[in-house]
Structure 1
Amino acid sequence: MEFYSLFLVALALSLDAFGVSLCIGLNKSIGRKNKIQFMSSFGFFQFFFAISGAYIGFLFNKYVAFVPKVVGGALVLAIGVLMLRDGLKNKNECLFVKPGMVTIVGISVSIDAFIIGFTVLNDMESSVNLLYSTLFIGAVTFLMSLFAFLISKYLRKIHIVSKYADYIGGIILIVFGIEMIFF
């Protein structure tokens, strides 16, 4: 996978975490320690699900049936549509942070990374490229979450901002899915 495509995938996957981080950051009662825990959780689970999905996708393609790029593109396109649909939902309140929520929220924003790993990353030339690619996805997610927490203190009065992250991520995944299907 080219760096440009990998960057777009990483960016699209990280926008869920960005939106959630922005929402969490808008809450004045969330401390620095909680923010670091959320950023680490988001980055780790994006990496973990991407590499797990790629490995399972490789095994599936090798031992069960080859999943053509058209099917993978359709799945990525569907994820993008689901992200857009989630953006249309009315998000009136921020996440309620209690013990254990860091893991639950980290997993919930990273499920799409598993599907991307399963459909897109499973045909990497080497395991080193796969490791670098998935670490890159995790790092981009960590940095996007950090960015969201940094700007959230300036955006606390605007409650609709976190909603746009789902739209942007959905559109990028839809375009990437169309590219996979037709090109």
Structure 2
Amino acid sequence: MEFYSLLLIALALSLDAFGVSLCIGLNRTIKRKNKIQFMTSFGFFQFFFAISGAYAGFLFNRYIASVPEMAGGALILIIGILMLKDGLKSKEACLIIKPGMVMVLGVSVSIDALVIGFTTLNNIKSNLNVLYSTLFIGVTTFLISLFAFLISRYLRKIHIISKYADYIGGVILIIFGIKMMLF
């Protein structure tokens, strides 16, 4: 997989974490250690689900049935549409932080990485390249979350910004899905 495509995938996957991080960062009661826990959780689960999906997709393609590029592209397109639909729903202004929420939010913003790994990353020929690609996705998510926390202190008065992350991620995944199906 070329770097440009991997970067787009990593950015699209990390935008859920960006939106959640921005929302959490807008809450003045959240401490620095909580923000670090959230960033680490988001990055880890993006990596873990992407690599799990890649190996599950490889095993599925090898031992059950090969999923053609058209089906993978269609699935990514559907995920992009669902992200757009999720962006249209009204959401609370900010999340209530409770014990265990770090894990729950880490998993919830990373489910799409499992699908991307299953449909896209399973075609990478080398195990080392799969590891590098999924690590890149995890690190990108960590850094995007860090960026969201940094800018959230300047954007505390604008609560609607986190809503746009779903739109941007959805559009990027739709474009990537169409690219996979047509090219």
Task: Quote how far apart the aligned CAs of 1:2 are.
Answer: 0.3
What aligned pairs does 1:59-98 form with structure 2 within 5 A after superposition?
Answer: 59-98=59-98
Per-residue CA deviations over 1:114-169 (Å, capped at 9, x if unaligned) read 00000000011100000000000000000000000000000000010000000000
CA distance in 2, matches of 1:28, 1:76: 36
Q: SS state of the match for residue 141, structure 1?
A: helix
Alignment RMSD = 0.5
Kindly provide the amino acid, as one letter, of the partner of residue 179 in structure 1: K
CA distance in 2, matches of 1:84, 1:63: 34
Kindly provide the amino acid, as one letter, of the partner of residue 104 in structure 1: V
Cross-structure match for 2:144? 144
CA distance in 1, matches of 2:56, 2:25: 35
Kindly provide the amino acid, as one letter, of the partner of residue 132 in structure 2: Y
CA distance in 2, matches of 1:155, 1:88: 21
Cross-structure match for 1:25? 25
Per-residue CA deviations over 1:48-99 (Å, capped at 9, x if unaligned) read 0000000000000000000001000000000000000011111233111111
CA distance in 2, matches of 1:123, 1:90: 37
Cross-structure match for 2:54? 54
Q: Structure 1 runs of 4+ off > 2 angstroms?
A: none
Cross-structure match for 1:36? 36
Scaled by the length of structure 1, the TM-score of the pair is: 0.99
Kindly provide the amino acid, as one letter, of the partner of residue 77 in structure 1: L
| Number of matched pairs | 183
CA distance in 2, matches of 1:173, 1:181: 12
CA distance in 2, matches of 1:96, 1:146: 19
Give unmatched runs, 5+ long, in structure 1.
Answer: none
CA distance in 1, matches of 2:56, 2:149: 33
Kindly provide the amino acid, as one letter, of the partner of residue 78 in structure 1: I
Q: SS state of the match for residue 157, structure 1?
A: coil
Scaled by the length of structure 2, the TM-score of the pair is: 0.99
